[in-house]
Structure 1
Amino acid sequence: MKPFRIAAIGIALAFASCVAGAQAFPTRPIKIVVPLAAGGTGDTLARTVGEAMARELGQPAVIENKPGAGALVGTELVAASPADGYTLLVVSPSHVINPALHANKKTYDPLKGFEPITVFANTHQVIVAHPSVPFNDLAGLIDYAKKNPGKLNYGSAGSGSATHLNMALFLSMAGIDIVHVPYKGSTQARQDVLSGQVQLAMDGLLPLQPLIKDKRLKPIALTSSKRAQSNPEIPVIGEVVKGYASDTWYGLLAPAGTPRDVIARLHAAAVKGLAEPAIRDRLGNLGAEPVGNSPEDFRRMLEREQALWTKVIKDSGAKAD
């Protein structure tokens, strides 16, 4: 019996060591890379949910903004990071858009290169205008643009970004010509539409809330398939341009190969944070609708999004500058 007891004790100790190892994660701060400019929707969501995750994980969540090349810079950085759960990536539809836009460039694989954790929230993109423009709604914008082709311009977060493609799809479906002014992130585009350097911008509803409330910008229409719970007064583009709909989401990924127990720990922390009433209220007031789905559901969604946007890019001929 003695050898059996020794073996049993060894197995128990090994099991306990594995459990302790899983429970030990994380033992140092976690870096959450936002491949977008500070102050935008992705940045705001990352900071809000990151704070809640840090409380649950017992370690700080450090937000690091790495904008550039339509989110390629930050995304490629995380793709090449160790698969240990300490470097994470905030993603939006641009995650599956970029590889299709850069088909001739060797870059990351949006599905094989990452492990899904969860979708933080569904948000909304909105066309906003400087108060000086001579129209107040989408029908007026379309009418003015048709009578004045090429005289309006709009800012986006950059060539090939979701804000660019959402606007390009609208212009194509509406049959109008508005000049694209790409920026290195939505924050710069927002600043220039506020100052009147550009007349229009496609941007996230979340960071625009105070500017809309103070009437410093005119909300024209949302890209989403339905009106926002936070702003039911703002119509969607599809109410005027039939068939148009483009929903916006933000989620969290880890590098491919990250251990399943680490993914589970990160997922649990994010979902618990998203369930906090204060977090839900905060996101809701900003125009974001919390999700917190499973890694498996997130992967299936990424597969659908990849197929959708690859087709849109191919059909439209869109290219990154």
Structure 2
Amino acid sequence: MTGVRFTRRAMPGVAAAFLSAPALAQAWPTRPVRIVAPFPPGGMVDLLPRLVAPTLSARLGQPVVVENRAGANGNIGAEVVAKAAPDGYTLLATSLGPIATNQFIYATMPYDTDTAFAPIVLLARTPKVMCVANARPWRSVQDVIAAAKERPGVLSAGSAGAGSSLHIALELFKRLTGTDIQHVPYRGAAPAVTDLVSGRIDLVIDNLPNIMAQIAGGQVRPVGMATERRVPQLPDLPTMREQGVDFLFGTAFGLAAPAGTPDAIVARLASLTTEALREPAVGGRLTEQGAQPGGGTPADFAALIAREKATQAPIIRAANIRAE
């Protein structure tokens, strides 16, 4: 009979290997936690983790730092997280593109969207609003449609990148209205808004929190909400449905971890993040800017991701949205 002998020197390592996941989660974290935001500063993907990070840091007793790693519609930063150790020290704050819909847009992906991540929690939902440059004469969605039909392919609309939710929203709007509007991709939503303010592009269909400050400051002109009813932040702004266009579109943002991260750590992060989003300084600020604070369980967020894949994949395929 063959046996295995352990020396005293080997025993600490063996004991560590047999620590349960709950025990590991209880000890975690013992060093700073990094949240990768795979888009440039200034957009919702950057804002959300920075809002919850101070509360998470206080509750965890360790610094929680946000690092921007932009490019390829979020794929570059998401790849960093997908290939990180599944130990709870590297997380992803993201829109649904890198973890749900980019797989339908890119011919090849640097990771398997369906298996690379462990969903943690929904951070927020945001409605879309169409805004036009102040230099343009349009005052309504129907004005924009008329101008687009009068000059097919001339009007320009900015997005956060090819395949971003802003791009998908634009393509759906074009399909519903029979218009031809030129898509101008940027490396994030903030640069697109900057060019809208300056008049370099004609319009955007953006997440309301991304552009609320410019609306409030009179730097851009909102013409329609892509929501079922008017939003409290802009009660005088009609919905697109009120203006004869049956167009509804929103965006979800959340936290994810590398696949294989212990369930106990994922559950703890979901619980603490939900608590942070319920604080007036966090959730209240998001609500003021037009976002709906998230929260909930990892299972809730996983179910949302599955629904969005099923909803957006046909839109992407019908519009032949592709990126290299």
- Return the TM-score normalized by structure 1: 0.89
Equivalences for residues 238-257 of structure 1 within 5 A: 238-257=241-260
Structure 1 position 107 matched with structure 2 position 107: no
The separation in 2 between residues aligned to 1:83 and 1:301, in whole angstroms, is: 22
The residue that corresponds to 1:38 in the other structure is 41
> Number of matched residues?
306
The alignment-based identity, stated in percent, is: 37
Contact 2:271/2:297 (CA < 8 Å) preserved in 1?
no
Report the Cα offset of residue 20 of structure 1.
5.5
Report the Cα offset of residue 318 of structure 1.
1.9
Greater alpha carbon shift after TM alignment, 214-223 vs 258-267:
214-223
Report the Cα offset of residue 192 of structure 1.
0.9
Structure 1 position 297 matched with structure 2 position 291: no
Contact 1:111/1:302 (CA < 8 Å) preserved in 2?
no
The separation in 1 between residues aligned to 2:229 and 2:68, in whole angstroms, is: 30
The separation in 1 between residues aligned to 2:234 and 2:57, in whole angstroms, is: 30
Structure 1 position 74 matched with structure 2 position 77: yes
The residue that corresponds to 2:102 in the other structure is 98
Contact 2:25/2:262 (CA < 8 Å) preserved in 1?
no
The residue that corresponds to 2:202 in the other structure is 199
Equivalences for residues 1-321 of structure 1 within 5 A: 21-95=24-98, 96-102=100-106, 104-320=107-323
Contact 1:173/1:241 (CA < 8 Å) preserved in 2?
no
Report the Cα offset of residue 312 of structure 1.
1.6
The separation in 1 between residues aligned to 2:86 and 2:71, in whole angstroms, is: 23
Partner amino acid for 2:182? V
Contact 1:166/1:223 (CA < 8 Å) preserved in 2?
no
Partner amino acid for 1:153? S
Deviations 1:162-188 (A, max 9, x none): 111111110111111111111111121
1:124 is paired with a residue whose SS is strand
Gaps of 5+ in 2: 1-14
1:318 is paired with a residue whose SS is coil
Gaps of 5+ in 1: 1-12
Report the Cα offset of residue 260 of structure 1.
0.9
The separation in 2 between residues aligned to 1:183 and 1:48, in whole angstroms, is: 24
Report the Cα offset of residue 225 of structure 1.
4.2
- Return the TM-score normalized by structure 2: 0.88
Contact 1:225/1:247 (CA < 8 Å) preserved in 2?
no
The separation in 1 between residues aligned to 2:298 and 2:238, in whole angstroms, is: 32
